[in-house]
Structure 1
């Protein structure tokens, strides 16, 4: 069976690996010169299984209004003349209620927990090195109000079997000793003990090599121009250099760019690009640096230890497909690392980056079948592509190959949008 995978980010590469491992003939197409060069390149580095929650939640609209007026705010909205943007925003607001949140959360946890369970096997069988650590995520609360509000998250974590610890300041410092230097800046935390960390780009590059060793062929520098349809099936994928590339089945794993390719064949996915920013800086003092991941609840910024580097990521900017990295774009993430770990790294040597997260209005990715029997989707993971990659890649690969996946696809497919 010959399968064409569109996209060589972490989602496309994990899908390609599982397909190749099963003996399929796999061809991967990507416009970049190598794997993991867009959203997978410099994300937060969190495998945040315990924090798999939709952004569309009760109370978020009011919080969003407050964030817009913060000096170092986590949210920016540029009001573009874009029907897609406003429709997506309206759909997201419609999901900001208790009932929708519960449904969407359960769907996301289904994928992230499956990914949590299969990731150790993937690492064991490949021997991949990716600066991985297994020391959990510490959600850090600066106020008592945040601490009390976390009780709702604790209830959900318990419901979905995601292990956690509620920590006082001493407990936070025991988990992250460098926080002793800024003890007065937080009141407690919620530690998600099953979470892992690692460099998504390193992982994607290494797994692409493993997939290639299994026979997968990667064609980089290929702009995918269109999907050709004949009758009710995909006939091929046209690229600017290879021309028409044909197969028995096709997987679209193009992240935020999936709608641009799928709109012309009447699959109008509600996936919208939400820009995020990060900086990566060298560790200068191990004792003053983070040991795993800390999530600053006030600024919605993650600080992650990746070997001898620190990755600081955050901000949600709704501005279409802009990849511009402005001179002050990383001000918030720079402030947070300096505020919480002032002695850990050299901020003057920080490398800035921006990427587009493929967000759905309900938070859940769009996986599996379409109205075209030989076209499958693996996109819309938002901020959780790295977290959900192993699980969604394996499950979609099973579906493409006619196997019964280990998880149900109920509520995960494009059918929930009437597509």
Structure 2
């Protein structure tokens, strides 16, 4: 269930393992929702839960910034407030280290298996391997990164601390705005690439392997009989049956899982991006930068620039308002004013499926033939290969290559 990057990658590993696979999605093709225009980062080095010590205080400050990275709409939603309280409950040192360790376990596994997937399939996705530059505008941010450096070292994620000149050596176009930052943290294992291009290409490869894609199939319900999943009821084709079922519906998973008693604290966090053409390569980014002040990522995708950021807690709204992308547009204009044509920027919004502890929900459920691969938040593209391979192994009765401890729905029991 689901033809985003998580669902399609899971289908690939299932088919590779010998399963006959059918993929259902309500859209007209693969990768048309959250996978459509995300930041493009394979952020192996920047894998961290949003729920961190000090975040509640920072969140209050962000709400008063002109170009703020966080918006909260006061909805009358018990689900939203319960999720928010659970997240706040994870904003302590002990929970952060536990959750960070779980997330890094998945992202490092993804980092390790992704090259094999690309070699096996030969797919193209505007990929680059030049790392991520976390850009600090203030000395305070630079000093505060020492805690991140300790954690990166603990989990074996390579990095380099860069001064202003070294940042410019990594991203030459920053020479034009050298007075706007003081230094950075280069995460050398990170990669970039177009998530939707990857998803489309991998779906095509899956189809060649015998995977059946049924698009335009909105799921009404998961049918339960005799303590097992008996089928998936769709609006067009009726009930579709199989031996095992994988839910990879992202933010929409709870809508079909809650009615059958699988209650996951996965909540949609809205994000925005713009994509614009490169006008001058000498003044454009070469890889990915993360503006630490505005929490905005700028990524080079072939002859395009993707700029993504903002976290908006607004329920299931997919509205793209006239000023919704102002912050991301401001950042690209501020750091790379000559690199791309902002007048041709294509705006987009999508819903990131977030858990309150940051870790996705993988593996089995209360039903022996229902499996989960959801809740990746902003890191679905980063964790896709690793989480899909691990879940496919569980479905096929194999021992996953990573420990599933703390990754399953059992942690919410």
- TM-score range with shorter-chain normalisation? over 0.9
Deviation digits for residues 38-94 of structure 1 (CA, Å, limit 9, x no counterpart): 000000000000000000000000000000000000000001000000000000000
SS of the residue corresponding to residue 334 of structure 2 reads helix
Residue of structure 1 aligned with 2:210, choices 215, 231, 252: 215
Work out the CA distance in 1 between the residues paired with 2:16 and 2:98.
Answer: 33
Residue of structure 2 aligned with 1:152, choices 133, 147, 151: 147
Report the counterpart of residue 322 of structure 1 in structure 2. 317
Work out the CA distance in 2 between the residues paired with 1:348 and 1:174.
Answer: 28
Shift of 1:231: 1.7
Shift of 1:312: 0.1
Q: Does 1:225 align with 2:243?
A: no
Q: What is the TM-score with the length of structure 1 in the denominator?
A: 0.98
Q: Does 1:200 align with 2:207?
A: no
Q: How does 1:281-300 map to 2 (within 5 A)?
A: 281-300=276-295
Deviation digits for residues 311-346 of structure 1 (CA, Å, limit 9, x no counterpart): 000000000000000000000000000000000000
Work out the CA distance in 2 between the residues paired with 1:95 and 1:245.
Answer: 39
Report the counterpart of residue 37 of structure 1 in structure 2. 32
Work out the CA distance in 2 between the residues paired with 1:232 and 1:168.
Answer: 60
Report the counterpart of residue 385 of structure 2 in structure 1. 390
Bigger CA drift: 295-304 or 226-235?
A: 226-235
Q: What is the TM-score with the length of structure 2 in the denominator?
A: 1.00
Query: How many residues are matched?
Result: 413
Work out the CA distance in 1 between the residues paired with 2:228 and 2:20.
Answer: 19
Structure 1: 4+ residue segments shifted above 6 A: none
Report the counterpart of residue 163 of structure 1 in structure 2. 158
Report the counterpart of residue 121 of structure 1 in structure 2. 116
SS of the residue corresponding to residue 80 of structure 1 reads coil
Residue of structure 1 aligned with 2:41, choices 46, 69, 73: 46
Residue of structure 2 aligned with 1:143, choices 120, 134, 138: 138
Work out the CA distance in 2 between the residues paired with 1:371 and 1:62.
Answer: 37
Q: Does 1:244 align with 2:239?
A: yes
Bigger CA drift: 325-334 or 227-236?
A: 227-236
SS of the residue corresponding to residue 241 of structure 1 reads coil
Q: Does 1:134 align with 2:125?
A: no
Report the counterpart of residue 349 of structure 2 in structure 1. 354
Deviation digits for residues 268-297 of structure 1 (CA, Å, limit 9, x no counterpart): 110000000000000000000000000000
Work out the CA distance in 2 between the residues paired with 1:309 and 1:405.
Answer: 37
Q: Tell me how large the CA RMSD over aligned residues is.
A: 0.3
Work out the CA distance in 1 between the residues paired with 2:226 and 2:409.
Answer: 20
Report the counterpart of residue 326 of structure 2 in structure 1. 331
Report the counterpart of residue 99 of structure 1 in structure 2. 94
Deviation digits for residues 204-250 of structure 1 (CA, Å, limit 9, x no counterpart): 00000111111000000000000000121100000011111000000
Q: Does 1:407 align with 2:402?
A: yes
Work out the CA distance in 1 between the residues paired with 2:268 and 2:292.
Answer: 23
Provide structure 2 residue ranges, at least 5 long, that are not aligned to the other structure. Answer: none
Provide structure 1 residue ranges, at least 5 long, that are not aligned to the other structure. Answer: 1-5
SS of the residue corresponding to residue 312 of structure 2 reads strand
Residue of structure 2 aligned with 1:369, choices 364, 380, 385: 364
Deviation digits for residues 171-225 of structure 1 (CA, Å, limit 9, x no counterpart): 1001000000000000000000000000000000000011111100000000000
Q: Does 1:268 align with 2:263?
A: yes
Shift of 1:389: 0.1
